[in-house]
Chains A and B, each alone.
Chain A
Amino acid sequence: MDDVVIDIFGRAVVPQSSADAEAEDLAPALEAVCFALNRAVSTSEASEILGRSPRAVEAAAEVLASQLRGRGLMLQRHAGAIQLVTRAEEAWAVHRALNPERPARLSRAAMETLAIIAYRQPVTRATIEAIRGVNCEAVLDHLEQRALIAETGRQDTPGRPRLFGTTLRFLQIVGLESIADLPAMPEGADLAGLVDPVLEP
Chain B
Amino acid sequence: MFDKSKIGQSFPPFTIEVERGKIRELALAIGDDNPIYQGREEAQAAGYPDVPLYPTSATTFTFWGNRKMISQVVSLGVNLAGVLHGEEEYEYLAPIYPGDKLTGVMTLVDGKTRQGQSGSSMDILTIEIRYTNQHGTPVLNARQVVIARS
Are both chains from one complex? no
Chain A residues within CB distance 8 Å of chain B: none
